[in-house]
Amino acid sequence: MQNKLATVSQILPFSCVDGPGSRLVIFLQGCNYNCKNCHNPHTINWCDHCGDCISTCPTQALTLVTTKGISRINWDSDLCTQCDICLSVCPKQSSPKTRQYGIDSLVTLIHHQRHFINGITVSGGEASLQLPFIIELFKAIKSTEALSHLTCMIDTNGSLSISGWHKLLPVLDGAMIDLKAWQEETHRYITGRDHHRVFQSLELLSQHAKLYEVRLLHIPNISDFDSEIEAVATYLKQLPNSVRIKLNAFQHHGVTGEARQWGTCSEAQMLELAARLTERGVTNLVLPNVYL
Amino acid sequence: MAFQDNLVKIISDPNLSPKQKSNYLALAAEASLPYLPISKEINQAKEAGIICDMFEGHAPFKPRYVLPDYAKYLQQGSQYLELTQATNLDEALNALTIIYHHVPSVTSIPVYLGQLDDILMPYTDGVDAESIYRKLKLFWIMLDRTLPDAFMHVNIGPSDNIICRTILRIDAELKQIAPNLTFMYDPDITPDDLLQIATSNICECSKPHIANYPIHAKAYDGQGFGIVSCYNSLPLAGGANTLVRLNLKEVALKALNVEDFFANTLPHYCQLTYELIETRAKFLHEESNFFNSFLVKEGLIEESRFAPMFGIYGMAEAVNILQNNPELTENDLEKPSKHYGHNQTANQLGHRISKALDTIVKSTPVTYGYHGRALLHSQGGISIDKDVTPGVRIPYGTEPNPIAHIQALAEHHQYYTSGISDILTIDETVKYNSQAMFQLCKGALSLGFREFTANVASNDLVRVTGYMIKLSDIATFKQQGSRTNTTGLGAEAAEVTGILNRKPRVAAQELSPNYAE
């Protein structure tokens, strides 16, 4: 089972915002949501090697390579200047700059960083779409003596099925889950999907004491955490006390399409939402460090 | 009449206090003397910016750094200062306050204030925690207001004690520029929760530095050492008589190729550096009468524990020049490059240069040294440096992520006995995650970093070298002047070197030597 491959959009060797302590974060390519406010939409789909981006690359870092009749885009990272023109012209909300990693190569990479990190986090995209790989990776980390102190966490939209969670739970230390909206129709408007499974996931992880953080993205006049404040507060209060309630403020960075017309969330708006939750007895709120 | 014009400028400068003016006038006076007799070749190397005497002055009459044995002073009192031995915490703090004004340095402000927890713990019996806090807080405020120079350095740790913890608490609370602070860490002695407090403080105010105690302690004898000024590790009851630094960038430019660099150019310019060190140290020790001081007579310092610091800087440029790398541009930053800090071959060439320097410094005798030798130092730059990176650091704005940064440079640290500093710039998200800072720090020290120094991007306090400045002070400095000496240096450094440009930044510098408008 060591030959599984993951499609990775990016690896961040040191992050302070993806779980407890210092973490190496693996961003996996591909998402089952299509959020209007997505701030990295090029991670949503897998590249289909259509080649539209190739001619737009100013440094010829992209080429089409055909072997055995199958054409694939080759990305030369040495030539790439990270201008991201390829991402902006992609008709598929994808990227030609993804890489395939096997378990062994990721374990080697993590081993190299082990003195500096408290754990690893898989993020996305939607990480749980590559569940078998994640399970193998976490298993490999836990069974490697030099790495066994590292915590393994997932950052997810919560759409994984209950049966999927049960496979992951034995090797999972904690999850950060986005709750994108309170009302079903708001959730559907923002993400294109219903949120039945998100609540199921939140409940299951709470029961197993593996819910590290719930994240609410406040988009003034779009998301409904403020208009549904009573219900939201009541729900959050019944979660275990240890769960961090992370409030995020919507910003335009990375956002494309109609959500760019939405107003951003100011510090004052964020503080107001936080105050209203606090008034209603919600504790363990974590607010943004910066509003950029 | 350029000389007198300069004096008039200093005297009438609207932004300097009378005391600051006196200092600059004294520097100008010393600079008007003829330089110590040196060979034509050294003079040429000096003029060409290959060898630099740190503008310590034409006729050195005081050592660069002095590390008195304050514990001894408190125990025995001082005949010269007409003080009996300290018998309680108030007397100890008062005695320290007094002697600090009698400890010279290159800036005329003491750079070493002592291993304060070791020194003060004997006087804490029967004093409750709240009183210790109150007394130390007043002491801390006094230091910042009367000796306003961020080169002034306090040491604490590695043991866990109430003075150490109280100082960390006060330092985070007051967020003063002065004094600078080093926390000694020893994995066998220091509890994790104490290191955690220290690393949380870094998130609060970019202080303290965390020193790798076992590595430093091993480099010196049982009499001990201290960390002074910007990360200079020196013998206790001694210090540095002079610091001469070699610009590796310029040395590399003189070399035909890598082989020529190691075989000829580097040894040649090291030799010249030594000649300048000898000339300067001899004058200090033999002509200036400094070692008649009460500090020597009362046994607080010993002449034999003073060593010259052999400084180097511009490693990054030297490596890139020797490898014929093109100048690094913004576009290169996100991708693997051939440059120092980013490429294994380049990094290894850097390590090889450090090793060669170590061999030279450990085998070259000096007349006035620690066990007859100078001490190698990765020099943190001064505010006039342009297009050359301090010490062995990775150039400003081009640093890789903090982990890759540490991994690229760790190998150098074993060679720089008298200090090396690599300042990691960490963005402000770490402020809310001090565990991450803690882990990064432990990782760095376990890899052999002698000193862990971090700067958190959004802090108003920013380390512009070994010292701290307030960003808000820089903004108003030009109009109003500053109470603290080092903000002026920081403002000058920021303008000349582009330290505050671009990415969240930090630089390193040690001293701005001469008066400049």
Inter-chain CB proximity B440 and A22 less than 8 Å = yes
Q: What is the 3-state secondary structure (H, E, C) of B211-255?
A: EEHHHHHHHCCCCCEEEECCCEEEECCEEEEEEEEEEHHHHHHHC
CA-nearest of B252, B423, B449, B256 to B353 is B252
Supply the angle between the helices B266-282 and B344-363 in degrees, to the nearest 10.
40
* Residues A71 and A120 grouped into a single domain: no
Q: Which of A59, A89, A119 is the endpoint of a domain?
A: A89
CA-nearest of B401, B394, B448, B463 to B426 is B401
Contacts of A58 in chain B (CB under 8 A): none
* Residues A52 and A196 grouped into a single domain: no
* Residues A16 and A129 grouped into a single domain: yes
The tokens for B414 are 């074993």
Q: How far is B455 from chain A (nearest CA, A)?
A: 15
Interface with B, mutate which of A78, A80, A87, A116 (most B CBs under 10 A): A116
Please list the helix, strand and coil fractions of chain B in percent, rounded to the nearest 5, in that order: 45, 15, 35
Half-sphere exposure of residue B91, counting CA atoms within 13 Å on the CB side? 15
Structural domains of chain B, with CATH: 1-28 (no CATH), 33-517 (3.20.70.20)
* Residues A54 and A177 grouped into a single domain: no
Number of domains in chain A: 2
In this complex, is the C-beta atom of A290 within 8 Å of any C-beta atom belonging to chain B?
yes
| Tens digit of each residue's pLDDT (9 = 90 or more) over B171-193 | 999 998 889 999 999 999 999 99
Of A14, A21, A115, nearest to B401 by CB-CB distance is: A14
Residue A140 included in any domain: yes
- What does B18-37 look like in DSSP terms, one character per residue? HHHHHHHHHHHHHHTSPPPP
In this complex, is the C-beta atom of B208 within 8 Å of any C-beta atom belonging to chain A?
no
In this complex, is the C-beta atom of B514 within 8 Å of any C-beta atom belonging to chain A?
no
How many residues appear in chain B? 517
Inter-chain CB proximity B335 and A14 less than 8 Å = no
pLDDT in tens, chain B (517 residues): 689 999 999 999 988 888 888 988 998 999 899 999 999 999 999 999 999 998 888 999 999 999 999 999 999 999 999 999 999 999 999 999 999 999 998 877 899 999 999 999 999 999 999 999 999 999 999 999 888 777 899 999 999 999 999 999 999 999 988 899 999 999 999 999 999 999 999 988 889 999 999 999 999 999 999 999 878 999 999 999 999 999 999 999 999 999 999 999 999 999 999 999 999 999 999 999 999 999 999 999 999 999 999 999 999 999 999 999 877 665 555 555 789 999 999 999 999 999 999 999 999 999 999 999 999 999 988 878 888 999 999 987 788 888 999 999 999 999 999 999 888 878 777 888 899 999 999 999 999 999 999 877 655 544 444 444 555 665 665 455 555 555 555 555 555 554 443 332 222 223 455 566 4
Q: How far apart are CA B197 and CA B9, in angstroms?
A: 46
Dmax over Cα atoms in chain B, in whole Å?
68
Interface of A with B in 22-61 (CB under 8 A): 22-23
* Residues A141 and A54 grouped into a single domain: no
Contacts of B427 in chain A (CB under 8 A): 16
Of A21, A112, A289, nearest to B436 by CB-CB distance is: A21
Instruction: Quote the DSSP letter at residue B190.
Output: S
Three-state SS at A53: coil
Pair B462, B455: CB distance under 8 Å: yes
What domain range includes position A127? Answer: 5-42+98-286
* Residues A171 and A205 grouped into a single domain: yes
A·B CB contacts under 8 A: 71
φ/ψ of B185, rounded to 5, equals: -120, 130
Pair B162, B124: CB distance under 8 Å: yes
Q: How far is B325 from chain A (nearest CA, A)?
A: 15
Residue A292 included in any domain: no
Q: How far apart are CA A135 and CA A140, in angstroms?
A: 9
Residue A242 included in any domain: yes
Inter-chain CB proximity B431 and A290 less than 8 Å = no
* Residues A23 and A160 grouped into a single domain: yes
In this complex, is the C-beta atom of A146 within 8 Å of any C-beta atom belonging to chain B?
no
Question: Could you tell me what percent of chain A has a pLDDT over 90?
Answer: 84
**Single-letter residue type at A274:** A
Contacts of B16 by beta carbon, 8 Å cutoff, 6+ apart: B10, B24, B481
Pair A158, A201: CB distance under 8 Å: yes
Q: How far is A116 from chain B (nearest CA, A)?
A: 5
Interface of B with A in 458-497 (CB under 8 A): 458
**Single-letter residue type at B239:** G
Contacts of B336 in chain A (CB under 8 A): 77-78
Residue A291 included in any domain: no
* Residues A130 and A78 grouped into a single domain: no
The tokens for B261 are 């660099």
* Residues A35 and A147 grouped into a single domain: yes
Q: Residue A238 class from Cβ within 10 Å (0-12 exposed, 13-18 middle, 19+ buried)?
A: exposed
Parallel/antiparallel/unpaired status of strands B238-247 and B306-313 = parallel
Q: How far is A131 from chain B (nearest CA, A)?
A: 27
Q: How far is A163 from chain B (nearest CA, A)?
A: 33
What CATH number should be reported for the domain holding residue A74?
Answer: 3.30.70.20
Q: What's CA B128's distance to the chain center, in Å?
A: 35
What pLDDT sits at residue B466?
A: 40
N-to-C CA span, chain B: 18
Tell me which chain B residue has its CA closest to the CA of residue A286.
Answer: B432
Virtual torsion, Cα B234, B237, B242, B244, nearest 10 deg: -10
Pair B248, B51: CB distance under 8 Å: no
What CATH number should be reported for the domain holding residue A254?
Answer: 3.20.20.70
CA-nearest of B420, B422, B42, B392 to B244 is B42
The tokens for B472 are 């808000």
Q: Which residues, listed in sequence order, are joined to residue B373 by a DSSP beta bridge?
A: B365
Residue A239 included in any domain: yes
Residue A19 included in any domain: yes
* Residues A159 and A37 grouped into a single domain: yes
* Residues A37 and A52 grouped into a single domain: no
Of B334, B428, B443, nearest to A289 by CB-CB distance is: B428
In this complex, is the C-beta atom of A292 within 8 Å of any C-beta atom belonging to chain B?
no
**Among A11-15, A142-146, A251-255, B369-373, whose mean pLDDT is lowest?**
A251-255
| Tens digit of each residue's pLDDT (9 = 90 or more) over B383-406 | 788 889 999 999 877 888 889 999
Phi-psi region of B123 (alpha: psi -120 to 50; beta: other; left: phi over 0): alpha
Contacts of B175 by beta carbon, 8 Å cutoff, 6+ apart: B204, B205, B461
* Residues A70 and A192 grouped into a single domain: no
Tell me which chain A residue has its CA closest to the CA of residue B335.
Answer: A78
Interface with B, mutate which of A10, A12, A22, A114 (most B CBs under 10 A): A22
